[in-house]
Amino acid sequence: QVQLVESGGGVVQPGGSLRLSCAASGFNFNKYGMHWVRQAPGKGLEWVAFIRLDGSDEYYADSVKGRFTVSRDNSKKMLILEMNSLGAEDTAVYYCAKDLGAAGIIFDHWGPGTLVTVSS
Amino acid sequence: EIVLTQSPDFQSVTPKEKVTITCRASQSIGSNVHWYQQKPGQSPKLLITYASQSFSGVPSRFSGSGSGTDFTLTINSLEAEDAATYYCHRSNSLPYTFGQGTKLEIK
C-alpha cells in the first residue's frame, strides 16, 4: 500500500534553513505529482508546494515562494523540500502528500508529517 | 484568490444523527471541491473528490454534493469514530486553498 514517511524536521533558528525529505513506497512514484502541505499548531491546512511527476514544473504558495524549493529524485523515490530564510510563521507540521493523478490537484495519501519549529 | 468558507466552525452532535457541513467559495469553481477528514493527532484522509465522488474505502455514510459556489458534506448516521475536523479544498486554480475546517465533537 502507499506509504509516505517524512523526515528532517526539528528546531531551527529564525533565518535558518532546513531540508525535509519524504520517502515513498507502495506505488509508482515517477507516475504521480507530489505535494507539501503544512499545518501550524492548532491551525488549518495550507498547501505549500507541488512538483510534477517528472520534476518538470514546480508551483508554490505565495507565502513560501522564493524561500522554499521542492525537488524529487525518482530513482530513490524521494521528495525533498529545501526551506530557507525560515521565520516563526513557518512553524508547522509538514506533510508530504501524493497527488491522485487525475486532471485536478487532489491529495489522496498523506504521510504522518514532520514538525518544524522556528525559534531562537 | 478564491476563498473557501466552511460552516459551522464547530458542531457537537450525537451518534446516529445526520450532519451537514457546508463549504462556500467566493466565486464559482465548478465541481473542483474535495473533502478531507483529520482525526486528532493524525494526518488528513481523503473522503470525497469532485464534490460528490466517494474515494475508495470511504464508508457509505459520507456523501458530498454541490457545484459552483456551494458545497455540502453529509454524514448519515454519525458514528463515534467520526469525531474529527473536516476540511474542504479546491483545486481549480493556484493557490490550492482549504476551508478553515469544521470540528465535529461527539456527545
Q: What is the pLDDT of residues A7-38, one digit of tens each?
A: 999 999 999 999 999 999 999 999 999 999 99
Residues of B in contact with A107 (CB under 8 A): 34, 36, 44, 46, 89
Q: Please check the confidence at residue B22 and state whether its pLDDT lies above 90.
A: yes
Identity of the residue in B55, B87, B92 whose CB atom sits nearest the CB atom of A108? B55
Q: Please check the confidence at residue B64 and state whether its pLDDT lies above 70.
A: yes
- Cell 529564525 identifies what position? A14
Which 3-state string (H, E, C) describes chain A?
CCEEEEECCEEECCCCCEEEEEEEECCCHHHCCEEEEEECCCCCEEEEEEECCCCCCEEECCCCCCCEEEEEECCCCEEEEEECCCCHHHCEEEEEEEECCCCCCCEEEECCCEEEEECC
Amino acid at B21: I
Considering only residues 42 to 81 of chain B, which have any Cβ-Cβ distance to chain A shorter than 8 Å?
42-46, 49-50, 55
Amino acid at A110: W
Q: Write down the pLDDT at residue A101.
A: 84
Angstrom distance (rounded) from CA A113 to CA A46: 13
DSSP B58: -
Amino acid at A64: V
- Over residues B30-43, the mean pLDDT reads 97
Instruction: Supply the Cα-derived Rg of chain A in whole angstroms.
Output: 13
Q: Please check the confidence at residue A104 and state whether its pLDDT lies above 80.
A: no
Q: Please check the confidence at residue A73 and state whether its pLDDT lies above 90.
A: yes
Overall residue count recorded for chain A in this entry: 120
Q: Is B98 on the interface with A (CB under 8 A)?
A: yes
Q: Write down the pLDDT at residue A102.
A: 66
The residue of chain B with its CA nearest to that of A41 is B41
Which cell is B106 given? Answer: 461527539
Does the beta-carbon distance from A104 to B43 stay under 8 Å?
A: no
- Over residues A73-83, the mean pLDDT reads 98
Q: Write down the pLDDT at residue A27.
A: 96
The pLDDT confidence band at residue A103, using thresholds 50, 70 and 90, is low
**Lowest mean pLDDT segment, chosen from A54-58, A99-103, B17-21, B75-79:** A99-103
